[in-house]
């Protein structure tokens, strides 16, 4: 079995296995090579064929490994039984500065300079150098091809009117520091631009429009409104909102405990089409006004009145201006995909639309939950009754169009939910087009990043999978995915054992103990995730200002952060070298900064996406042009201009 896993990590399957598969697609390759076929269609079919073969190999290996493991478990169990029989027989810094007094402290920074120079100038290992040259050659060849092929688009796959802020400052609703945080930075100001992200998991690969507005004039106001209103919405609609797939599994298991799951129970999902871009501007603002009047304490949040919030909301919607293909556009319907406030506004608009469905589900003791534009429901009504209810909802608002599915086994978020003759079964859902990709082990990232990946994947599986057999299948899938992404088998085994040991679940790994797994599943499922803890904190005090407007915490003089760019090779030793240097020159016993804790802030290098994906229009289309007065002032301040005038 370990030999098989090693083959997976090296991507060398048994020759007989590869030979059978290669022979099975000879006829397909022959047909695809015929010149009569359209080139684009031929390339698409060849890609589908390649993915199908890859997935088939993956599935076959996923079947082979559990069979081998089950055989090993049976032999282990026989050995344990024999041993038990034998045993039975046998048993009948204050101001953030310091003075350099001692000689070793004075020598500290020259010493650090030497360390950095040595790490930077030291020759990298031969293997790493070969790999770097090979990857550079590949990237340059890809860039060359892309320049010659304007028909190829590279994208990462999916899934200045600010004057009102000044009036809030004059009214005392915000202070000068808060005003500064909300105002756009004029030197970094940029117009938004439109680009598209392909969705390869859907038929015909549709595109998702994204308005990139990170430096747009109203971006900070949009973030402010989102931080202000999202906690209010979540508090109001928490019972009808799913935060993630784990939230769904909790609701379903409670549904079973309450005795609501019957052999005839059906599951419903529906998707709201183009929610962000289809909500009407005026209708959304009216829904926002009604929501604020109904749910705000004293008709304000903190010292911000409803009128202040509404004027800022109009400002964000009115300044959705972006560049696309050398032209400028203003969005007049819906909100920008990429604006923080758009999601909250869409949620509030949907809340009014879904009230009838929520009330009907609560009356029947059924589940209703929404995650942005995806909805999950349970029902014990007949198929025709459910269909009629959904058709009525579809006709309620011409701006909201839904497409629904009613089945006993259904996929929602990352969970597959099944009603197996009155027995609930939940497993992790994998999209058909999804490939077994995990951050490659050879990628240039700090080591602790890789240590967390196996544990986090098993933690997710333990929370979602309802029985031990499905959990074991998912464990094998994670194992294969890690091996295919060049994680060493010993590394994978070590961190898998770490998960089972920390959660006291070794019987699950050794003999698939269903009772132990059920207990672990319940413990993991009902332990709040980090995101859930953060959301709970934000909804506790709704009168508090958003984080971006809160006063910054004072700098902790007991912690020092060392920032550096992470790289494989000689720089891997930077942290240990820096710690040694710090202890030798400053952090030694008796020093005034002996108590200071050292932490490292790591920045990674550019990715292939940074190099290959170019989404932004030309710089001159996005940057703010100075007016005549500003240009004249800039010229007067320019020494070269003054010199020319004098001449």
Residue pLDDT, tens place only, 292-339: 888 877 777 766 788 888 988 888 888 888 888 888 888 888 777 778
Structural domain boundaries of the chain? 2-91, 103-152+553-612, 163-428, 447-540
Return the number of other C-beta atoms located less than 10 Å from residue 321's C-beta. 19
pLDDT higher than 50, residue 160:
no
- Nearest 5°: phi and psi at 4? -65, -45
For residues 53 and 57, what is the distance between their CA atoms, to the nearest angstrom? 6
pTM higher than the cut 0.85:
no
Residue pLDDT, tens place only, 107-153: 777 887 888 777 777 777 888 788 778 777 777 776 777 666 665 55
For residue 646, the model assigns a pLDDT of: 34
Percentage of residues in the chain having pLDDT higher than 90: 20
Residue pLDDT, tens place only, 99-109: 555 666 667 77
Structure confidence at residue 267 as a pLDDT band (50, 70, 90): very high
Q: Per-residue pLDDT averaged across 418-425, rounded?
A: 92
DSSP class of residue 596 equals P
- Nearest 5°: phi and psi at 428? -80, 130
Q: Per-residue pLDDT averaged across 494-512, rounded?
A: 90
Q: Per-residue pLDDT averaged across 420-433, rounded?
A: 88
Structure confidence at residue 249 as a pLDDT band (50, 70, 90): very high
Return the number of other C-beta atoms located less than 10 Å from residue 132's C-beta. 14
Return the higher-pLDDT residue of 270 and 165.
270
Q: For tokens 């995650």, what's the residue?
A: 371
Residue pLDDT, tens place only, 597-642: 888 888 887 777 777 777 777 777 777 666 555 444 544 444 333 3
Q: For tokens 């240990």, what's the residue?
A: 576
Return the higher-pLDDT residue of 101 and 32.
32
Helix (H, G, I), strand (E, B) or coil at 197: strand
pLDDT higher than 60, residue 502:
yes
For residues 276 and 211, what is the distance between their CA atoms, to the nearest angstrom? 12
Residue pLDDT, tens place only, 277-294: 788 888 889 999 999 888
Q: Per-residue pLDDT averaged across 575-588, rounded?
A: 85
Closest Cα to residue 437, out of 101, 200, 163?
200
Structure confidence at residue 547 as a pLDDT band (50, 70, 90): low
């Amino acid at each position: 079995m370990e030999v098989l896993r090693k083959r997976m990590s090296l991507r060398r399957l048994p020759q007989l296995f590869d030979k059978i598969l290669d022979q099975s697609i000879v006829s397909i390759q022959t047909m695809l090579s015929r010149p009569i076929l359209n080139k684009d269609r031929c390339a698409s079919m060849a890609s589908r064929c390649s993915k199908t073969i890859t997935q088939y190999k993956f599935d076959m290996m996923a079947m082979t490994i559990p069979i081998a493991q089950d055989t090993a478990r049976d032999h282990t169990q026989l050995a344990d039984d024999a041993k038990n029989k034998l045993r039975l027989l046998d048993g009948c810094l204050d101001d953030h500065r310091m003075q350099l007094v001692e000689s070793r402290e004075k020598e500290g920074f020259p010493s650090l300079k030497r360390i950095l120079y040595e790490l930077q100038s030291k020759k990298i290992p031969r293997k790493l150098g070969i790999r770097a040259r090979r990857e550079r050659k590949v990237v340059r060849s890809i860039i060359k091809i892309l320049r010659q092929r304007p028909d190829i688009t590279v994208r990462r796959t999916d899934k200045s009117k600010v004057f009102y802020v000044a009036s809030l400052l004059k009214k005392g609703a915000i202070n000068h520091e808060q005003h500064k945080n909300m105002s756009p930075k004029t030197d970094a100001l940029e117009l938004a631009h439109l680009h598209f992200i392909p969705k390869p998991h859907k038929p015909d690969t549709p595109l998702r429009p994204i308005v990139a507005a990170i430096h747009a004039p109203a971006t900070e106001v949009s973030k402010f409104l989102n931080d202000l209103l999202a906690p209010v919405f979540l508090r109001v609609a928490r019972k009808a909102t799913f935060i993630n797939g784990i939230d769904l599994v909790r609701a379903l298991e409670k549904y079973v405990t309450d005795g609501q799951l019957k052999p005839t129970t059906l599951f419903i999902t529906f998707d709201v089409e183009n929610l962000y871009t289809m909500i009407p501007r005026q209708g959304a603002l009216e829904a926002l006004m009604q929501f604020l009047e109904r749910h705000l304490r004293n008709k304000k949040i903190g010292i911000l009145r409803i009128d202040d919030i509404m004027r800022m909301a109009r400002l964000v919607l009115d300044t959705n201006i972006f560049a696309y293909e050398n032209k400028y556009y203003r969005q007049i319907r819906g909100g920008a995909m990429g604006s923080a406030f758009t999601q909250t506004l869409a949620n509030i608009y949907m809340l009014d639309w879904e009230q009838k469905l929520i009330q009907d589900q609560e009356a029947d003791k059924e589940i209703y939950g929404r995650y942005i534009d995806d909805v999950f429901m349970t029902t014990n009504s007949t198929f025709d009754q459910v269909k009629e209810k959904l058709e009525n909802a579809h006709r309620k608002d011409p701006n909201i169009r839904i497409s629904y599915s009613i089945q006993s086994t259904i996929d929602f978020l990352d969970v597959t939910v099944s009603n197996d003759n009155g027995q609930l079964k939940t497993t992790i859902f994998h999209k058909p087009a999804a490939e077994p990709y995990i951050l490659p082990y050879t990628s240039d990232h700090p080591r602790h990043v890789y240590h967390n990946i196996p544990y986090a994947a098993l933690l997710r599986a333990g929370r979602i999978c309802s029985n031990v057999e499905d959990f074991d299948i998912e464990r094998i899938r994670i194992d294969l995915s890690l091996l295919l992404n060049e994680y060493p088998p010993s590394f994978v085994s070590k961190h898998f054992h770490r998960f089972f040991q920390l959660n006291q679940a070794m019987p699950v790994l050794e003999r698939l103990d269903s009772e132990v797994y059920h207990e672990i599943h319940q413990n993991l499922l009902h332990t709040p995730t980090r995101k859930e803890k953060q959301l709970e904190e934000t909804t506790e005090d709704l009168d508090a200002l958003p984080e971006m407007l809160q006063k910054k915490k004072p700098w902790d003089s007991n912690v020092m952060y060392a920032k550096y760019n992470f790289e494989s090779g000689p720089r891997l030793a930077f942290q240990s070298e820096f710690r040694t240097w710090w202890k030798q020159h400053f952090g030694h016993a008796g020093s005034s900064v002996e108590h200071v804790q050292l932490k490292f802030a790591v920045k990674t290098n550019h990715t292939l996406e940074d190099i290959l994906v170019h989404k932004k229009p030309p710089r001159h289309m996005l940057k703010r042009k100075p007016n005549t007065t500003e240009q004249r002032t800039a010229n007067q301040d320019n020494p070269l201009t003054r010199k020319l005038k004098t001449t």
